[in-house]
Structure 1
Amino acid sequence: MLHPVGPLSSAVYWRRRLLVLALVVAVLGGGGWLVAAAVSGGSGSASAAAPRTGTAADPTDPPALEQVVPSLASVRTPTPPAPAPESPAPEQAEPAPADVPAAPTPGGPCGDDMIALEVRSPGSAAAGGQPTFDLVVTNVSAVPCVRTLDKELQEIVLFDGAGTRLWGSNDCFPEASDDTRTLAPGESVAFPLVWGGRTSEPGCAAERTVLGAGQYVLRGRLDTKASGDAPFAVV
Protein backbone atom coordinates (compact mmCIF):
# COMPACT_ATOMS: atom_id res chain seq x y z
CA MET A 1 0.00 0.00 0.00
CA LEU A 2 2.90 2.31 0.60
CA HIS A 3 4.14 1.72 -2.92
CA PRO A 4 1.25 2.33 -5.30
CA VAL A 5 1.17 0.30 -8.43
CA GLY A 6 -0.67 1.45 -11.52
CA PRO A 7 -0.25 3.09 -14.86
CA LEU A 8 -0.35 6.56 -13.23
CA SER A 9 2.47 8.17 -11.50
CA SER A 10 2.93 7.61 -7.79
CA ALA A 11 2.18 11.27 -7.05
CA VAL A 12 -1.37 10.87 -8.34
CA TYR A 13 -1.98 7.94 -6.08
CA TRP A 14 -0.62 9.80 -3.01
CA ARG A 15 -2.88 12.72 -3.70
CA ARG A 16 -5.91 10.40 -3.87
CA ARG A 17 -4.94 8.79 -0.59
CA LEU A 18 -4.54 12.16 1.10
CA LEU A 19 -7.95 13.22 -0.20
CA VAL A 20 -9.58 10.03 1.12
CA LEU A 21 -7.82 10.49 4.43
CA ALA A 22 -9.04 14.07 4.64
CA LEU A 23 -12.59 12.89 3.97
CA VAL A 24 -12.30 10.28 6.67
CA VAL A 25 -10.97 12.80 9.08
CA ALA A 26 -13.73 15.22 8.18
CA VAL A 27 -16.37 12.54 8.64
CA LEU A 28 -14.89 11.48 11.97
CA GLY A 29 -14.60 15.06 13.07
CA GLY A 30 -18.20 15.85 12.15
CA GLY A 31 -19.47 12.83 14.01
CA GLY A 32 -17.52 13.77 17.07
CA TRP A 33 -18.93 17.30 16.91
CA LEU A 34 -22.45 15.89 16.69
CA VAL A 35 -21.84 13.68 19.71
CA ALA A 36 -20.38 16.58 21.66
CA ALA A 37 -23.28 18.81 20.69
CA ALA A 38 -25.77 16.17 21.77
CA VAL A 39 -24.01 15.74 25.08
CA SER A 40 -23.69 19.46 25.70
CA GLY A 41 -27.31 20.03 24.62
CA GLY A 42 -28.62 17.52 27.14
CA SER A 43 -26.64 19.05 29.92
CA GLY A 44 -27.73 22.51 28.81
CA SER A 45 -31.36 21.46 28.89
CA ALA A 46 -30.88 20.06 32.33
CA SER A 47 -29.18 23.26 33.35
CA ALA A 48 -32.02 25.30 31.90
CA ALA A 49 -34.60 23.15 33.66
CA ALA A 50 -32.82 23.52 36.98
CA PRO A 51 -33.22 26.97 38.64
CA ARG A 52 -30.10 29.05 38.52
CA THR A 53 -28.65 29.86 41.85
CA GLY A 54 -29.27 33.46 42.73
CA THR A 55 -31.44 34.20 39.64
CA ALA A 56 -34.62 32.14 39.93
CA ALA A 57 -36.80 32.71 42.98
CA ASP A 58 -36.89 29.85 45.46
CA PRO A 59 -40.54 29.19 46.29
CA THR A 60 -39.56 28.77 49.94
CA ASP A 61 -37.84 32.12 50.03
CA PRO A 62 -39.91 35.01 51.53
CA PRO A 63 -41.19 37.47 48.94
CA ALA A 64 -39.26 40.60 48.40
CA LEU A 65 -40.10 43.42 50.84
CA GLU A 66 -41.15 45.77 48.07
CA GLN A 67 -43.70 43.20 46.91
CA VAL A 68 -45.28 42.94 50.40
CA VAL A 69 -45.07 46.45 51.75
CA PRO A 70 -46.48 48.98 49.33
CA SER A 71 -44.58 52.11 48.66
CA LEU A 72 -45.27 54.90 51.12
CA ALA A 73 -45.99 57.15 48.20
CA SER A 74 -48.85 54.89 47.14
CA VAL A 75 -50.38 54.69 50.64
CA ARG A 76 -53.02 57.34 51.27
CA THR A 77 -52.91 58.58 54.83
CA PRO A 78 -56.44 59.29 56.05
CA THR A 79 -57.03 62.91 56.83
CA PRO A 80 -58.09 63.35 60.48
CA PRO A 81 -61.58 64.77 60.82
CA ALA A 82 -61.80 68.42 61.69
CA PRO A 83 -62.52 68.99 65.38
CA ALA A 84 -66.14 69.70 66.11
CA PRO A 85 -66.79 73.29 67.08
CA GLU A 86 -67.06 73.69 70.80
CA SER A 87 -70.58 74.28 71.87
CA PRO A 88 -70.97 77.28 74.12
CA ALA A 89 -71.04 76.42 77.77
CA PRO A 90 -74.60 76.41 79.04
CA GLU A 91 -75.45 79.33 81.17
CA GLN A 92 -75.33 78.24 84.73
CA ALA A 93 -78.63 78.76 86.35
CA GLU A 94 -78.41 80.90 89.39
CA PRO A 95 -79.11 78.91 92.54
CA ALA A 96 -82.59 79.36 93.78
CA PRO A 97 -82.60 81.62 96.78
CA ALA A 98 -83.20 79.87 100.04
CA ASP A 99 -86.61 80.29 101.51
CA VAL A 100 -86.37 83.33 103.70
CA PRO A 101 -88.99 83.65 106.38
CA ALA A 102 -91.24 86.56 105.72
CA ALA A 103 -90.57 89.51 107.95
CA PRO A 104 -93.20 90.04 110.63
CA THR A 105 -95.78 92.64 109.77
CA PRO A 106 -95.91 95.55 112.20
CA GLY A 107 -99.17 95.47 114.09
CA GLY A 108 -99.88 91.87 113.03
CA PRO A 109 -100.49 88.93 115.36
CA CYS A 110 -97.67 87.84 117.67
CA GLY A 111 -96.84 84.31 116.57
CA ASP A 112 -95.33 81.84 118.99
CA ASP A 113 -91.91 82.51 117.42
CA MET A 114 -92.28 86.23 118.19
CA ILE A 115 -92.75 85.89 121.94
CA ALA A 116 -90.84 84.38 124.85
CA LEU A 117 -92.60 82.77 127.82
CA GLU A 118 -91.17 82.03 131.24
CA VAL A 119 -92.28 81.26 134.82
CA ARG A 120 -90.70 83.27 137.60
CA SER A 121 -90.91 82.13 141.25
CA PRO A 122 -89.29 82.95 144.58
CA GLY A 123 -87.29 79.76 144.14
CA SER A 124 -88.58 78.07 147.29
CA ALA A 125 -91.38 78.16 149.82
CA ALA A 126 -92.24 76.53 153.11
CA ALA A 127 -94.57 73.54 153.08
CA GLY A 128 -98.18 74.80 153.23
CA GLY A 129 -97.06 78.32 152.23
CA GLN A 130 -98.66 80.41 149.47
CA PRO A 131 -95.92 81.64 147.13
CA THR A 132 -96.64 83.88 144.09
CA PHE A 133 -95.63 82.75 140.62
CA ASP A 134 -95.45 85.05 137.57
CA LEU A 135 -96.18 84.06 133.99
CA VAL A 136 -94.14 86.50 131.87
CA VAL A 137 -94.80 87.16 128.15
CA THR A 138 -92.19 89.11 126.14
CA ASN A 139 -92.28 90.34 122.54
CA VAL A 140 -88.87 89.28 121.18
CA SER A 141 -89.56 90.42 117.57
CA ALA A 142 -88.44 93.69 115.95
CA VAL A 143 -91.95 94.99 115.38
CA PRO A 144 -94.99 95.61 117.55
CA CYS A 145 -97.53 92.79 117.42
CA VAL A 146 -100.86 91.81 118.89
CA ARG A 147 -101.39 88.84 121.26
CA THR A 148 -104.44 87.49 123.04
CA LEU A 149 -103.62 87.16 126.77
CA ASP A 150 -106.93 85.87 128.17
CA LYS A 151 -106.82 84.24 131.62
CA GLU A 152 -108.26 80.98 130.34
CA LEU A 153 -105.27 80.70 127.96
CA GLN A 154 -102.80 81.03 130.83
CA GLU A 155 -101.65 78.14 133.02
CA ILE A 156 -98.84 77.22 135.40
CA VAL A 157 -98.29 73.53 136.26
CA LEU A 158 -96.09 71.93 138.94
CA PHE A 159 -94.33 68.53 138.46
CA ASP A 160 -92.16 66.38 140.70
CA GLY A 161 -88.72 65.15 139.65
CA ALA A 162 -90.22 62.07 137.92
CA GLY A 163 -92.50 64.22 135.74
CA THR A 164 -95.73 63.49 137.64
CA ARG A 165 -98.21 66.34 137.47
CA LEU A 166 -99.07 67.54 141.03
CA TRP A 167 -100.85 70.86 140.56
CA GLY A 168 -102.29 73.19 137.90
CA SER A 169 -103.42 76.80 138.25
CA ASN A 170 -106.66 76.14 136.30
CA ASP A 171 -107.65 72.94 138.17
CA CYS A 172 -109.81 74.42 140.95
CA PHE A 173 -110.12 78.17 140.31
CA PRO A 174 -110.15 78.79 136.58
CA GLU A 175 -110.50 82.42 135.46
CA ALA A 176 -111.67 84.05 132.26
CA SER A 177 -110.96 87.45 130.76
CA ASP A 178 -110.88 89.34 127.47
CA ASP A 179 -107.35 90.66 127.19
CA THR A 180 -105.82 91.40 123.77
CA ARG A 181 -102.78 93.65 123.75
CA THR A 182 -100.30 95.19 121.36
CA LEU A 183 -96.80 94.44 122.61
CA ALA A 184 -93.97 96.72 121.56
CA PRO A 185 -90.61 95.14 120.64
CA GLY A 186 -88.94 93.98 123.87
CA GLU A 187 -92.03 94.67 125.99
CA SER A 188 -92.85 92.18 128.78
CA VAL A 189 -96.14 91.55 130.56
CA ALA A 190 -96.30 89.60 133.86
CA PHE A 191 -99.38 87.80 135.17
CA PRO A 192 -99.09 86.91 138.88
CA LEU A 193 -100.72 83.80 140.34
CA VAL A 194 -100.87 82.69 143.96
CA TRP A 195 -100.44 78.98 144.77
CA GLY A 196 -102.11 77.62 147.92
CA GLY A 197 -99.36 75.00 148.56
CA ARG A 198 -101.67 72.04 147.93
CA THR A 199 -101.97 69.38 145.22
CA SER A 200 -104.80 69.34 142.67
CA GLU A 201 -106.14 67.56 139.59
CA PRO A 202 -108.02 68.87 136.53
CA GLY A 203 -111.62 69.58 137.60
CA CYS A 204 -110.52 69.67 141.27
CA ALA A 205 -112.31 66.35 141.94
CA ALA A 206 -109.58 64.70 144.07
CA GLU A 207 -108.74 65.55 147.66
CA ARG A 208 -106.09 68.25 147.93
CA THR A 209 -103.14 67.67 150.25
CA VAL A 210 -100.27 69.88 151.39
CA LEU A 211 -97.24 69.30 149.20
CA GLY A 212 -94.32 67.98 151.20
CA ALA A 213 -90.73 69.18 151.06
CA GLY A 214 -88.79 68.36 147.91
CA GLN A 215 -87.45 69.55 144.55
CA TYR A 216 -90.06 70.39 141.89
CA VAL A 217 -90.41 71.95 138.46
CA LEU A 218 -92.75 74.74 137.27
CA ARG A 219 -93.84 74.97 133.61
CA GLY A 220 -96.01 77.68 132.04
CA ARG A 221 -98.31 77.83 128.99
CA LEU A 222 -100.00 80.61 127.00
CA ASP A 223 -102.39 78.90 124.60
CA THR A 224 -100.01 77.02 122.23
CA LYS A 225 -96.79 78.59 123.52
CA ALA A 226 -94.95 76.64 126.30
CA SER A 227 -92.18 77.85 128.56
CA GLY A 228 -89.09 76.13 129.75
CA ASP A 229 -88.81 74.44 133.14
CA ALA A 230 -88.20 76.58 136.24
CA PRO A 231 -86.91 74.81 139.39
CA PHE A 232 -88.79 75.25 142.66
CA ALA A 233 -88.23 73.78 146.09
CA VAL A 234 -90.58 73.14 149.02
CA VAL A 235 -88.72 73.27 152.32
Structure 2
Amino acid sequence: MPARDRGVPRRRGQWPPTSVLSVLHPVGPLPAAVYWRRRLLVLVLLLAVLGGAGWLGVSLLGGSDGDAAAAEATATTTTAQPPALDRVVPSLASVRTPTPPPTEAPEPAEPSAPEQEAGAPCGDDVVALEVRTPGSVPAGSQPVLELVVTNTSDVPCTRVLDEELQEIVLLDAAGTRLWGSNDCFPEQSDDTRTLAPGEQVVFPLTWGGLTSEPTCSAERVPVGPGQYVLRARLDTKTSPDAALEVT
Protein backbone atom coordinates (compact mmCIF):
# COMPACT_ATOMS: atom_id res chain seq x y z
CA MET A 1 0.00 0.00 0.00
CA PRO A 2 1.47 3.39 -0.79
CA ALA A 3 2.78 5.63 1.89
CA ARG A 4 -0.19 8.07 1.74
CA ASP A 5 -2.47 5.21 2.76
CA ARG A 6 -0.44 4.20 5.79
CA GLY A 7 -2.43 6.25 8.20
CA VAL A 8 -0.69 9.50 7.48
CA PRO A 9 -3.20 12.11 8.59
CA ARG A 10 -4.55 14.67 5.98
CA ARG A 11 -4.58 18.32 6.64
CA ARG A 12 -7.92 20.20 6.88
CA GLY A 13 -9.01 21.50 3.48
CA GLN A 14 -6.90 19.12 1.46
CA TRP A 15 -9.07 16.64 -0.56
CA PRO A 16 -8.31 14.34 -3.34
CA PRO A 17 -8.87 15.61 -6.94
CA THR A 18 -12.52 15.77 -8.14
CA SER A 19 -13.71 12.80 -10.18
CA VAL A 20 -16.97 11.24 -11.26
CA LEU A 21 -16.90 8.99 -8.22
CA SER A 22 -16.33 11.96 -5.94
CA VAL A 23 -19.37 13.75 -7.44
CA LEU A 24 -21.58 10.73 -7.13
CA HIS A 25 -20.23 9.92 -3.69
CA PRO A 26 -19.55 13.26 -2.03
CA VAL A 27 -17.07 13.17 0.81
CA GLY A 28 -16.72 15.93 3.30
CA PRO A 29 -16.99 16.77 6.91
CA LEU A 30 -20.81 16.70 6.62
CA PRO A 31 -22.92 13.66 6.06
CA ALA A 32 -23.41 12.63 2.41
CA ALA A 33 -27.17 13.26 2.56
CA VAL A 34 -26.53 16.98 3.10
CA TYR A 35 -24.54 17.22 -0.09
CA TRP A 36 -27.15 15.28 -2.01
CA ARG A 37 -29.90 17.55 -0.81
CA ARG A 38 -27.90 20.59 -1.90
CA ARG A 39 -27.27 19.14 -5.35
CA LEU A 40 -30.92 18.17 -5.70
CA LEU A 41 -32.05 21.69 -4.73
CA VAL A 42 -29.72 23.28 -7.30
CA LEU A 43 -30.95 20.88 -9.95
CA VAL A 44 -34.61 21.65 -9.18
CA LEU A 45 -33.95 25.38 -9.33
CA LEU A 46 -32.13 24.99 -12.63
CA LEU A 47 -34.97 22.94 -14.11
CA ALA A 48 -37.53 25.47 -12.84
CA VAL A 49 -35.65 28.36 -14.49
CA LEU A 50 -35.30 26.51 -17.77
CA GLY A 51 -38.93 25.43 -17.71
CA GLY A 52 -40.16 28.94 -16.95
CA ALA A 53 -38.11 30.43 -19.78
CA GLY A 54 -39.44 27.86 -22.23
CA TRP A 55 -43.03 28.42 -21.17
CA LEU A 56 -42.62 32.19 -21.55
CA GLY A 57 -41.20 31.84 -25.06
CA VAL A 58 -44.00 29.51 -26.12
CA SER A 59 -46.60 31.87 -24.66
CA LEU A 60 -45.15 34.88 -26.51
CA LEU A 61 -45.02 33.03 -29.84
CA GLY A 62 -48.48 31.59 -29.36
CA GLY A 63 -49.92 34.99 -28.32
CA SER A 64 -48.49 36.77 -31.40
CA ASP A 65 -49.86 34.15 -33.74
CA GLY A 66 -53.24 34.27 -31.99
CA ASP A 67 -53.41 38.08 -32.18
CA ALA A 68 -52.50 38.06 -35.87
CA ALA A 69 -55.11 35.38 -36.60
CA ALA A 70 -57.74 37.30 -34.63
CA ALA A 71 -56.92 40.54 -36.44
CA GLU A 72 -57.08 38.79 -39.83
CA ALA A 73 -60.39 37.19 -38.93
CA THR A 74 -61.78 40.55 -37.80
CA ALA A 75 -60.68 42.24 -41.03
CA THR A 76 -62.21 39.44 -43.12
CA THR A 77 -65.47 39.70 -41.21
CA THR A 78 -65.51 43.50 -41.59
CA THR A 79 -64.94 43.24 -45.34
CA ALA A 80 -67.42 40.49 -45.94
CA GLN A 81 -70.22 41.87 -43.78
CA PRO A 82 -71.69 45.26 -44.78
CA PRO A 83 -72.29 47.77 -42.01
CA ALA A 84 -75.59 47.52 -40.26
CA LEU A 85 -76.62 50.93 -41.63
CA ASP A 86 -76.04 49.76 -45.23
CA ARG A 87 -78.24 46.75 -44.63
CA VAL A 88 -81.09 48.93 -43.40
CA VAL A 89 -80.78 52.15 -45.44
CA PRO A 90 -80.55 51.72 -49.26
CA SER A 91 -77.53 53.16 -51.03
CA LEU A 92 -77.98 56.63 -52.47
CA ALA A 93 -76.81 55.32 -55.85
CA SER A 94 -79.87 53.04 -56.02
CA VAL A 95 -82.35 55.79 -55.17
CA ARG A 96 -83.73 57.55 -58.22
CA THR A 97 -84.52 61.18 -57.73
CA PRO A 98 -87.18 62.63 -60.00
CA THR A 99 -85.81 64.74 -62.83
CA PRO A 100 -87.39 68.19 -62.81
CA PRO A 101 -89.07 69.11 -66.08
CA PRO A 102 -87.01 71.48 -68.24
CA THR A 103 -87.95 75.06 -67.72
CA GLU A 104 -88.20 77.31 -70.69
CA ALA A 105 -85.97 80.31 -70.55
CA PRO A 106 -87.98 83.50 -70.52
CA GLU A 107 -87.88 85.40 -73.76
CA PRO A 108 -85.76 88.52 -73.51
CA ALA A 109 -87.85 91.60 -73.23
CA GLU A 110 -87.67 93.93 -76.15
CA PRO A 111 -85.94 97.16 -75.27
CA SER A 112 -88.47 99.91 -74.92
CA ALA A 113 -87.98 102.96 -77.07
CA PRO A 114 -87.18 106.13 -75.20
CA GLU A 115 -90.22 108.28 -74.68
CA GLN A 116 -90.42 111.21 -77.07
CA GLU A 117 -90.74 114.55 -75.33
CA ALA A 118 -93.38 116.84 -76.78
CA GLY A 119 -91.92 119.75 -78.76
CA ALA A 120 -88.39 118.31 -78.66
CA PRO A 121 -86.47 117.27 -81.78
CA CYS A 122 -87.76 114.03 -83.28
CA GLY A 123 -85.33 111.21 -82.63
CA ASP A 124 -84.49 108.69 -85.32
CA ASP A 125 -86.46 106.09 -83.34
CA VAL A 126 -89.75 107.97 -83.85
CA VAL A 127 -89.13 108.92 -87.48
CA ALA A 128 -90.15 106.50 -90.24
CA LEU A 129 -88.45 106.93 -93.61
CA GLU A 130 -89.76 105.39 -96.83
CA VAL A 131 -89.04 105.46 -100.60
CA ARG A 132 -92.06 105.15 -102.85
CA THR A 133 -91.46 103.99 -106.43
CA PRO A 134 -93.58 103.16 -109.48
CA GLY A 135 -92.38 99.58 -109.10
CA SER A 136 -91.41 99.16 -112.75
CA VAL A 137 -90.15 101.76 -115.30
CA PRO A 138 -88.88 101.57 -118.88
CA ALA A 139 -85.13 101.96 -119.40
CA GLY A 140 -84.19 105.59 -120.21
CA SER A 141 -87.39 107.02 -118.66
CA GLN A 142 -87.51 109.67 -115.93
CA PRO A 143 -89.69 108.31 -113.14
CA VAL A 144 -90.81 110.33 -110.12
CA LEU A 145 -89.67 108.97 -106.77
CA GLU A 146 -90.95 110.05 -103.37
CA LEU A 147 -89.16 110.33 -100.02
CA VAL A 148 -91.71 110.11 -97.17
CA VAL A 149 -91.01 111.23 -93.57
CA THR A 150 -93.48 110.21 -90.81
CA ASN A 151 -93.65 111.10 -87.11
CA THR A 152 -94.59 107.81 -85.40
CA SER A 153 -94.69 109.18 -81.83
CA ASP A 154 -97.78 110.22 -79.85
CA VAL A 155 -96.60 113.80 -79.40
CA PRO A 156 -95.56 116.57 -81.78
CA CYS A 157 -91.80 116.94 -82.35
CA THR A 158 -89.51 118.94 -84.58
CA ARG A 159 -87.25 117.68 -87.38
CA VAL A 160 -84.78 119.36 -89.70
CA LEU A 161 -85.79 118.49 -93.28
CA ASP A 162 -83.19 120.47 -95.24
CA GLU A 163 -82.74 119.29 -98.83
CA GLU A 164 -78.97 118.77 -98.38
CA LEU A 165 -79.85 116.20 -95.68
CA GLN A 166 -82.09 114.25 -98.05
CA GLU A 167 -80.75 111.68 -100.51
CA ILE A 168 -81.95 108.70 -102.57
CA VAL A 169 -79.47 106.23 -104.11
CA LEU A 170 -79.88 103.42 -106.67
CA LEU A 171 -78.09 100.09 -106.12
CA ASP A 172 -77.83 97.03 -108.34
CA ALA A 173 -78.33 93.43 -107.17
CA ALA A 174 -74.68 93.21 -106.06
CA GLY A 175 -75.01 96.36 -103.93
CA THR A 176 -73.01 98.60 -106.27
CA ARG A 177 -74.04 102.23 -106.13
CA LEU A 178 -75.18 103.45 -109.57
CA TRP A 179 -76.86 106.79 -108.92
CA GLY A 180 -77.42 109.36 -106.14
CA SER A 181 -79.85 112.28 -106.08
CA ASN A 182 -77.18 114.68 -104.71
CA ASP A 183 -74.39 113.72 -107.14
CA CYS A 184 -74.93 116.20 -109.96
CA PHE A 185 -77.76 118.49 -108.77
CA PRO A 186 -77.30 119.12 -105.03
CA GLU A 187 -79.82 121.51 -103.50
CA GLN A 188 -79.98 123.35 -100.18
CA SER A 189 -82.81 124.69 -98.06
CA ASP A 190 -83.63 125.73 -94.52
CA ASP A 191 -86.58 123.56 -93.55
CA THR A 192 -87.28 122.75 -89.87
CA ARG A 193 -90.79 121.54 -89.18
CA THR A 194 -92.95 120.54 -86.26
CA LEU A 195 -94.53 117.22 -87.13
CA ALA A 196 -97.81 116.27 -85.49
CA PRO A 197 -98.30 112.68 -84.28
CA GLY A 198 -98.65 110.46 -87.39
CA GLU A 199 -98.00 113.34 -89.78
CA GLN A 200 -96.27 112.55 -93.10
CA VAL A 201 -94.16 114.86 -95.26
CA VAL A 202 -93.61 113.82 -98.89
CA PHE A 203 -90.68 115.06 -101.00
CA PRO A 204 -91.00 114.18 -104.72
CA LEU A 205 -87.83 113.68 -106.76
CA THR A 206 -87.36 113.05 -110.49
CA TRP A 207 -84.69 110.59 -111.61
CA GLY A 208 -83.30 111.09 -115.09
CA GLY A 209 -82.69 107.34 -115.63
CA LEU A 210 -78.87 107.82 -115.89
CA THR A 211 -75.95 106.68 -113.77
CA SER A 212 -73.90 109.11 -111.65
CA GLU A 213 -71.21 109.26 -108.96
CA PRO A 214 -70.58 111.75 -106.10
CA THR A 215 -68.26 114.04 -108.11
CA CYS A 216 -70.45 113.85 -111.23
CA SER A 217 -67.25 113.74 -113.31
CA ALA A 218 -67.76 110.28 -114.84
CA GLU A 219 -69.78 109.75 -118.01
CA ARG A 220 -73.46 109.26 -117.29
CA VAL A 221 -75.11 106.36 -119.12
CA PRO A 222 -78.66 104.96 -119.09
CA VAL A 223 -79.32 102.23 -116.54
CA GLY A 224 -80.01 98.97 -118.36
CA PRO A 225 -82.89 96.60 -117.70
CA GLY A 226 -82.72 94.65 -114.47
CA GLN A 227 -83.71 94.48 -110.84
CA TYR A 228 -82.59 97.36 -108.59
CA VAL A 229 -83.26 98.81 -105.16
CA LEU A 230 -83.67 102.39 -103.94
CA ARG A 231 -82.55 103.51 -100.48
CA ALA A 232 -83.28 106.88 -98.85
CA ARG A 233 -81.44 108.85 -96.17
CA LEU A 234 -82.46 111.81 -93.99
CA ASP A 235 -79.34 112.93 -92.16
CA THR A 236 -78.55 109.92 -89.91
CA LYS A 237 -81.81 108.05 -90.54
CA THR A 238 -81.97 105.47 -93.37
CA SER A 239 -84.95 103.73 -94.95
CA PRO A 240 -85.60 100.11 -95.89
CA ASP A 241 -84.78 99.16 -99.49
CA ALA A 242 -87.52 99.57 -102.10
CA ALA A 243 -87.49 97.42 -105.24
CA LEU A 244 -87.43 98.97 -108.68
CA GLU A 245 -87.53 97.05 -111.95
CA VAL A 246 -86.11 98.62 -115.12
CA THR A 247 -87.51 97.00 -118.28
TM-score range, shorter chain: 0.5 to 0.7
CA shift digits 1:90-112 (9 cap, x unpaired): xxxxxxxxx98753322222222
> Match of 1:120?
132
SS state at 1:217 partner: strand
**Aligned-partner Cα distance in 2 for 1:117–1:141:** 14
Superposed CA offset, 1:179-231 (max 9, x none): 11122333322111112223333343344333332222211111121222211
Instruction: Tell me the distance in 1 between the aligned counterparts of 2:165 and 2:176.
Output: 22
Seen in structure 2, the aligned counterparts of structure 1 residues 133 and 35 have a Cα distance that, compared at 3 Å, is same
Q: Structure 1: where are the runs of 5+ without partners? A: 1-29, 66-98
What is the rounded CA distance, in whole Å, between the counterparts of 1:233 and 1:100 in structure 2? Answer: 37
Match of 1:208 among 208, 220, 224: 220
Task: Give the counterpart letter for 1:46 in structure 2.
Answer: L
**Match status 1:45 vs 2:63:** no
Which residue is equivalent to 1:15?
A: none
CA distance in 2, matches of 1:100, 1:229: 25
For the residue of structure 2 that corresponds to 1:61, the secondary structure is helix
Per the alignment, residue 165 of structure 1 pairs with: 177
Report how many residues are paired.
172
Larger radius of gyration: 1
Which amino acid in 2 is paired with 1:34? V
Structure 2 Cα separation of the partners of residues 212 and 129 of structure 1: 11
Distance 2:195 2:219 in 1: 40
TM-score using structure 2 length: 0.58
Structure 1 counterpart SS, 2:239: strand
Deviation at 1:169, TM superposition (A): 1.5
Deviations 1:32-66 (A, max 9, x none): 64354244333333345434489x7449726989x
**186, 189, 193: which one pairs with 1:181?**
193
Distance 1:63 1:107, change over 3 A: farther
Aligned to 2:72: none
Alpha-carbon distance in 2 for matches of 1:122, 1:133: 8
Conserved? CA contact 2:116–2:123, under 8 Å: no
Change (3 A) 1:58 1:199: closer
Instruction: Give the counterpart letter for 1:195 in structure 2.
Output: W
**1:61 is aligned to 2:60:** yes
Instruction: From the two aligned structures, give the one with the greater helix fraction.
Output: 2
Matched, 1:221 2:210: no
User: What pairs up with 1:18-167 in 2 under 5 angstroms?
Assistant: 31=31, 33-52=33-52, 57-58=56-57, 61=60, 102-167=114-179
Shift of 1:147: 1.0
Paired with 1:48 and 1:208, the residues of 2 have a C-alpha distance of: 139
What is the alpha-carbon distance in structure 2 between the residues aligned to residue 48 and residue 206 of structure 1?
Answer: 136
C-alpha deviation, 1:148, in angstroms: 0.4
Aligned-partner Cα distance in 1 for 2:227–2:112: 43
Gaps of 5+ in 2: 1-29, 65-110
Structure 1 length normalisation: TM-score?
A: 0.60
Amino acid corresponding to residue 61 of structure 1 in structure 2: L
Contact 2:113 2:125 in 1 (8 A): no
The alpha-carbon distance between structure 1 residues 102 and 233, as it changes in their structure 2 partners (threshold 3 A), is closer
* Distance change in 2, residues 1:165/1:48 (3 Å): closer
Structure 1 pair 33/206, CA: closer, same or farther in 2 (3 Å)?
closer
